[in-house]
Amino acid sequence: MSASTSSKDDGSLLVSNMHKIGLSTDASSRLKLLLASQSPRRREILDMMGLSGRYTAEPSPLNEEELQIELSKKDISPHDYARTLAERKAHAKIPSVTKSNGEVTLIIGSDTIVDLDGVIMEKPKDEADACEMIQRLSGNWHQVHTGVAVYAVGVGGLDEEKLMFSFTDTASVKFASLTDEDIKSYVSSQEPMDKAGSYGIQGIGGQLVERMEGDFFTVMGLPMHRFSRELSSAIRLLDI
């Protein structure tokens, strides 16, 4: 499509609305972006999207372990589990947002889980747990669900909050058949220890992956394309 050809989708991506997000150091900005996470992978994806300097990153105060126990007692699908965690992470950050007249803060919450035949795999407890997870994934297809949620604080009034959107994006990943030495060597690198399912596709763990279907960035921790569309739509709705 040439630059002169228009369509109903023109301006639907964040790249067309990025200028509306102020620099994180600009106190006069009317629209601020807060990532409720200290995940280096999600920060890397936001930076790749051109948002470097336009957001701040702070951990969510949510007690994830308590929520995981709560959700484990419910009949909830892995798909909905990831979205619920994302919503709760973002919502838990709302009380700490500094509110100012005419200013809106968009809080991003996200969570990634690995799903093997309906069984949710979170981060490993220790190296033995990581080895066991990877052994189960070896030679098999699994799904990776990344939930994303964005709350707006200050929309319509200082204390008003609104869930602008939430969704789960899913990718399917096929592991190669791994030897015991492959698994042991990978776990000894320590890379798996802070990652759902005990591997990181963007690092050494990419060697374990034979093929995949879906968005690479969903597996990495934040589905870039869908997040771009949803955030762009939210910003247009705010009409700032």
Q: Kindly name the residue from 75, 111, 126, 239 that is annotated as catalytic.
A: 111
Instruction: Report how far apart, in Å, the C-alpha atoms of 38 and of each of 57, 84, 130, 169 are.
Output: 6, 19, 22, 20
How many CB atoms are closer than 10 A to CB 231? 24
- With CA atoms as reference, report the closest residue to 89 among 65, 112, 119, 59: 59
Six token digits for residue 129 = 């747990």
Does the annotation mark 111 as catalytic? yes
Q: Decide the pairing of beta strands 31-35 and 104-116.
A: parallel
For tokens 């919503």, the residue is 87
Cβ-proximal residues to 150 (8 Å cutoff; 6+ apart), any chain:
90, 106, 107, 108, 109, 163, 164, 165, 166, 230, 231, 234
Residues 53, 113: Cα–Cα separation, whole Å:
28
Which sequence positions are flagged as catalytic?
Answer: 111
